[in-house]
Structure 1
Amino acid sequence: MKRRHFINRKAWVLPLIGLMLFAGSCKKYTELVPDNTFAEDDAYSNPQRAALAITGVYSAAQSSPYTDNTNRGYPFGAANTIQGDMRGEDMMAIPSFFLITYENSYDATTANNTAMWTSLYATINRANIVITKLKEAAAAGTISTDVETAGEAECRFLRALSYHELLIHFARPYNETAGATHQGVVLRTVGINTPELVDQYKNDGRGTVKQGYDLIIADLDFAEANLAAQSTASLRITRATKGAAIALKTRVKLHMGDYAGVITEGAKLGTAATSATFTAPTALGGYALTATPDGPFASVGANYGNTESIFSIENSTIRNAGTNGSLSTMYSKAPGRALVVISPIIWNDPSWKATDARRTLLSTTDAATGVAAKYYFSAKYKDPATWTDANPIIRYAEVLLNVSEAYARTGNATQSLALLNAVRNRSVLAADRYTADSFPTPASLIQGIINERRIEFLGEGKRWMDIHRLAKENLYGPNGIPAKTSSTVAFSAYNAAAGYTGARSIAAIPYAGATTSFRFIWPIPTVETQANPVLAQQQNPGY
């Protein structure tokens, strides 16, 4: 029986076609195509329809189905940020939504890690399908080669982003073995949308971590070469561009320990300048830090035009992570649900000066008239009513700090300090600005950069990335998942910049050498290992 799969033009969403498509019985569709839908084979019949197909990949990245088939912002609508924070110590979980992640009690059946795996592969599969269909349409003369190549570049950018997210959660860091030859994740560049393809690829095994990173870099190189230099209006930060591909390469190469590569990529975005301020070339987006640290988090809608955001995932009033998943719901005080709060561990850290503007501009308490405060909250996400805050994937501030660390690790302390101060100085008093004397050794400078990353990206899900990449080195991080505070901590434990000496009742997970060390990375989900006997034999040890 011929299967016809339809795309809803009003929603701009392409249905995921993967393994589950063929699990049920075949349903016969009418040959009359409704006005607002069209068959997948017709989705590439002209450039306008092809554009909708590409938009469908962004839709999959914003939200593929959660384990209960609802929209909770997996993988990149919100969940990558929330899970990245919950795996670290600087944001704290309030019972009970995210305690499994926060307390490291996950297994191969728990929902959050399972949903991250399945939604990331759903995004990858959608990207792969669209790439194939675009090539077929170009070969048939339905769309131009330029349209095909540009569309493929957007798909490969999102595929690279997805594979990197998989690698930081389900595989050990790049430097775990010489040559990164240890187990990575399953690598697919073919879209699976027929029973025959399901049968062909159903027993794929894991590639190495190096193979994963090689694919990511190849995808981002292709994206840089073929993406538009910049988009306009609200699409400026929500569609992939050349600058976004370059920016993401600074992150990926930092994880690889390719510090010269980080410097080279950053230079394309203006980080080799000798001035105290840095700006990307206009032809690559003209990115620059906003004057104040809250600039990228202005009122909903207004932030789409800020100069600092390079790539974000859009949430709208009709498509968002909802009350059970959105950033503003989880991170905000009432009327938000207030389930992710700032931990006193970072609030009290001496490297975060008590007078730092980020304390007042980007955080708040839940105090009200006649009601005592209990916690500090991030104020980065402003819309707990309709959940339309964009999810910040990468900002120019990250590019500057990525390159700053690379310079510090390769002996150029002067340029490293200039980049670090560019980010930090907009938030601190003149008396608190770093000088060359602030860091007597290269190691102290690198530690200063890591400290700044914890403050600058608080509430943006970046903490796990640094814990993961630094754990094996065991010089600048907690050498595993750090011990954490419980939500029972009293508000009196918050003392800005005074150091935290209170209880950390959630035990640390050492990177290696302990009976719990296997929990440093997530298990491959049971739904995957039950369907794939090869992966069942390649499960992460300990699960």
Structure 2
Amino acid sequence: MKRIRYTFSRTAVMAMLAAAMLATPSCSKFTELEPINTPSENSAFQSASSIELAMQGVYEAAAVGSYNGDKAAARGYPFGAAAIEQDEMRGEDMLNVAQFYAITYEGTYTPSSANNVNMWNGLYALINQTNVLIKGVQGAGAAGVITPEAAAAYEGEARFLRALAHHELLIHVSFPYADGNGSKPGVPYREKAVTSQADVTEGLSVGRGTVAEAYTKLLADLDYAETNLPATQPKGLSRVSKGAAIALKTRIKQHMQDWDGVIAEGAKLGTDKQPATHFTSPIGGYTLTASPETPFTSFKNNTESVFSVANGPNANGGTNGALPSMFGPADKGARGLVATSPLLYNASFWVEGDLRRTLLQIRQVIGEKYSFNNKYRDYVNKTDYAPIIRYAEVLLNVAEAYARKGNNAQAFLLLNDVRNRSVPADKQFTTPPADLILAILQERRIEFTGEGRRWPDIHRLALDPVYGTNGVPAKLKIGQMKLDGSDYNNVTPPVFPATGGVVAYPYTDFRFLWPIPADEIAANPLLREQQNEGYK
């Protein structure tokens, strides 16, 4: 059984147990209770200050992660960068320029390929750290080290992160909720801290369960977070708040196609109103910024970002993982590995004059003149926060729910609140389009490009008889494109060669799902019997 060692901070000693992941059988030492420069688990929860450091350690685990178990080779697993990058590379709206993401982009992953394995390991490492934190603050609250209210708030933050991590696993390893109403195999929902070999043994008995069972548990985590977290976080938008828990529930219930549930959760954040100007949440005061650029230029403090994962100059995904490195142009100091695909850039629904094309796209002028995402701009220090959920998503989640339920008037108001800040007045909708649901789904592709929302939409809509992809869409390869930038032409879009791209594959193809990693199934006989079909 491999144990992964974390010190939790590059700038301070994190009073926290090292993460023990039920992943591989290569080492007989299942957990490391005394990681480098880190006191034991028991001492981590003996004071309010050490508990706060432990909580910070959990957030850093969400942001930085490790690569093949080496934290020095951090690549932003899972939520500092990697989840966004992997979710974009599984879709068709961004273009793999080099070979760096070829396995994900082309669907050639195996139980041993690095990115899907490290995502699995990083997510379960984070989950275990949330579980250790929960166990520790429960004890600290009971012992009077901190107040019961403070303990419950810390637990709420951890439960939010635990739910977020499990959902990321579900959208890659399991079929969508719509397939069999959640009856297909889910993922192991781990709720107990691994602090001893006995815990490891017990953990090996936890199987995949069903998708529905996993969704029930993660919604319970989010309900707890909502109940016990403050409406606003004095520590900033990189710490989980009540509004973040509610906002994430709109996403989760959307994946369940629980449209009434999406509407009910959204109403807590003000989406049931008919505002004179813009929608504003009574919890957290969320409202769209005047410019679509502001959540990314003022990522530490703006009215729209509900929750983001912090990166900093000394703790980020590094040259081989950070969002500005991967998504930015090489002539600006980035690596230029992922560009915007002309499939999206030239799409007829992305109208001329849209500010998101002029402000949030940037053309490389030296070398290949691809268009790159311009949301992440700190190419030197890589401090851009990773956006997890914005108020714009809440508005569009609820807009879709209203449209699905036939309330086109409210859906139209919500859609326009997002769309109209970016679209020229002469191209704004004055009446609902004939297919309002399609317009909302298209708006999501524009608004959230470069934020990792494309794959989750492909996944949840795969079987939708009207709006589904029925699998993974075809994608462009750079060999089909010209190097002079002329392929980026939304006025007279080019026609690309019919061959030479990444061929679409259907929902029934085993590649629609990621495999459970080989090391995991080698260590866990139960999961070995529950591997996704098509993988050995």
Q: Do these two structures clear the TM 0.5 threshold for a shared fold by scoring above it?
A: yes
Which residue in the other structure is 1:88 paired with?
A: 91
Provide the residue aligned with 1:38 in structure 2.
39
Secondary structure of the equivalent of 1:310?
Answer: strand
Q: Distance between the aligned counterparts of 1:87 and 1:122, measured in 2?
A: 23
Match of 1:542, SS? coil
Which of 306, 309, 315 does residue 319 from structure 1 map onto? 315
**Alpha-carbon shift at residue 292 of structure 1 (Å):** 1.0
After superposition, the Cα gap between the structure-2 partners of 1:497 and 1:346, relative to the gap in structure 1 and judged at 3 Å, is farther
The 2-side partners of 1:127 and 1:380 are apart by 29
* Gap change, CA 1:80 and 1:26, over 3 Å in 2: closer
Q: 2:528 aligns with which of 533, 536, 539?
A: 536
TM-score (norm 1): 0.91
Question: Residues 5 and 40 of structure 1 are in contact (CA less than 8 Å); yes or no, is this contact kept in structure 2?
Answer: no
Query: Hey, what's the Cα distance between the residues in 1 that align with 2:115 and 2:471?
Result: 20
- Let me know the Cα RMSD of the aligned residues: 2.3
The Cα shift of 1:7 comes to 7.1
Amino acid paired to 2:60: S
Deviation of 1:364 after TM superposition, in Å, equals 0.9
Contact kept? 1:268, 1:280, Cα under 8 Å:
no
Of 326, 333, 351 in structure 2, the residue corresponding to residue 330 of structure 1 is: 326
- Give 1:281 deviation, angstroms: 3.8
Match of 2:354 in 1: 356
Structure 1 residues 21 and 64, CA gap change in structure 2 (3 angstroms)? farther
Alignment pair present for 1:132 and 2:135: yes
- Are 1:270 and 1:278, in contact at CA under 8 Å, matched by a contact in 2? no
1:340 aligns with 2:332: no
Question: Cα 1:273–1:135, aligned 2, differ >3 Å: closer, same or farther?
Answer: same
AA aligned opposite 2:382: W
What are the Cα deviations for residues 233-280 of structure 1, in whole angstroms up to 9, with x where unaligned? xx3210000000011001110000000111111111111111254343
1:94 CA drift (Å) = 1.4
Determine the structure 1 residue equivalent to 2:287. Answer: 288
Matches within 5 A, 1:243-262: 243-262=243-262
Separation (CA, whole Å) in 2 of partners of 1:54 and 1:181: 35
How far off its partner does 1:218 sit? 0.5
Structure 1 counterpart of 2:347, which letter?
Answer: D
SS in 2 for 1:449: helix
Say whether the 8 Å CA contact 1:62–1:313 is kept in structure 2: yes
Q: Which residue of 2 aligns with 1:106?
A: 109
Task: Tell me what 1:275 maps to.
Answer: 275
The residue matched to 1:493 in structure 2 has which SS?
Answer: coil
Q: Which of residues 465, 477, 496 is equivalent to 1:486?
A: 477
1-side partners of 2:277 and 2:87: how far apart? 30
Label 1:227 to 1:272 Cα distance change in 2 as closer, same or farther (>3 A). Answer: same
Distance 2:82 2:529 in 1: 28
Q: Distance in 1 between matches of 2:207 and 2:31?
A: 32
Give the deviation of 1:56 after TM superposition. 1.6
* Counterpart-to-counterpart distance in 1, 2:436 and 2:28: 58
Q: Distance in 2 between matches of 1:5 and 1:378?
A: 32
Q: What percent of counterpart residues are identical?
A: 46
Query: How far is the alpha carbon of 1:29 from its aligned partner?
Result: 10
Partner of 2:220: 218
Using the TM superposition, name which of 271-280 and 462-471 deviates more. 271-280
User: For each residue in 1:109-130, what CA deviation from the matched residue of structure 2 results, as whole angstroms up to 9, or x when unmatched?
Assistant: 1000111111101111110111
Equivalent-residue separation in structure 1 for 2:219 and 2:95 (angstroms): 33
* TM-aligned CA distance change 1:340 to 1:26, over 3 Å: closer
Equivalent residue, structure 1, for 2:495: 501
CA deviation vs aligned residue, 1:25-46 (integer Å, no higher than 9, x gap) = 699999xx99x75332111111
1:23 matches 2:15: no
Which residue type is aligned with residue 165 of structure 1?
E
Moved more, 486-495 or 426-435: 486-495
Listed one character per residue, the Cα deviations across residues 116-151 of structure 1 (whole Å, up to 9, x for unaligned) are 111101111110111111112222232221121111
C-alpha displacement at 1:314, in angstroms? Answer: 0.2
Q: Distance in 1 between matches of 2:370 and 2:192?
A: 47
Q: Does the alignment pair 1:456 with 2:447?
A: yes
Cα distance change on mapping 1:247 and 1:5 into 2, 3 Å:
closer
Match of 2:374 in 1: 379
Distance 2:391 2:494 in 1: 30
Q: Contact 2:21 / 2:121 at 8 angstroms: preserved in 1? A: no
Q: Give the residue type in structure 2 aligned to 1:416.
A: A
Contact residue 7 and residue 40 of structure 1 kept, 8 A: no
* Aligned with residue 427 of structure 2, among 419, 429, 432: 432
Post-superposition offset of 1:182 = 0.9
Instruction: Give yes or no for contact 1:332–1:384 (8 Å, CA) kept in 2.
Output: yes
Is residue 46 of structure 2 the alignment partner of residue 55 of structure 1? Answer: no
Residue 303 of structure 1 deviates from its aligned partner by: 2.5
Q: Does 1:116 align with 2:116?
A: no
Q: 1:365 to 1:220 in 2, by over 3 A?
A: same
* CA pair 400-6 structure 1, distance change in 2 beyond 3 A: closer
- Could you state the TM-score of these two structures normalised by the residue count of structure 2? 0.92
C-alpha distance in structure 1 between counterparts of 2:187 and 2:491, whole Å: 40
Which range is displaced more, 90-99 or 197-206?
197-206
Query: Which residue of structure 2 aligns with residue 468 of structure 1?
Result: 459
Q: Which residue of 2 aligns with 1:201?
A: 203
Query: What is the aligned partner in structure 1 of residue 176 from structure 2?
Result: 173
> What SS is found at the alignment partner of 1:501?
coil
Q: Map Cα deviations across residues 430-486 of structure 1 (whole Å, 9 max, x no partner).
A: 1111132x523xxx1101000000000011110001000000113213221100000
What secondary structure does 2:92 align onto? Answer: coil
Alpha carbons 1:247, 1:394 under 8 Å: kept: yes
Count of residues in correspondence between the two structures: 519
In structure 2, how many angstroms separate the alpha carbons of the residues matched to 1:500 and 1:189? 51
**1:500–1:257 CA distance, 2 compared to 1 (3 A):** farther
* d(CA) in 1 for partners of 2:514, 2:32: 40
Alpha-carbon distance, 1:502 to partner: 1.4
Query: 5+ residue gaps in structure 2?
Result: none
Distance 1:176 1:499, change over 3 A: farther
What CA distance in whole angstroms lies between the structure 2 residues aligned with 1:365 and 1:85? Answer: 19
- SS of aligned partner of 1:64: coil
Q: Cα offset for 1:49?
A: 1.1
Deviation at 1:229, TM superposition (A): 1.1
C-alpha distance 332-29 of structure 1, shift in aligned 2 (>3 A): closer
2: CA distance, partners of 1:363 / 1:39: 47
Matched with 1:366 is 364
Structure 1 residue 173: deviation in Å? Answer: 0.3
Mapped to 2, the partners of 1:360 and 1:25 lie a distance apart of 54
Structure-2 separation of matches of 1:172 and 1:25: 34
Pairwise CA distance, 1:68: 5.2
Deviation string, structure 1 residues 473-503 (Cα, Å, up to 9, x no partner)? 1321322110000022113222115456313
Mapped contact 2:312–2:382 kept (Cα < 8 A)? yes
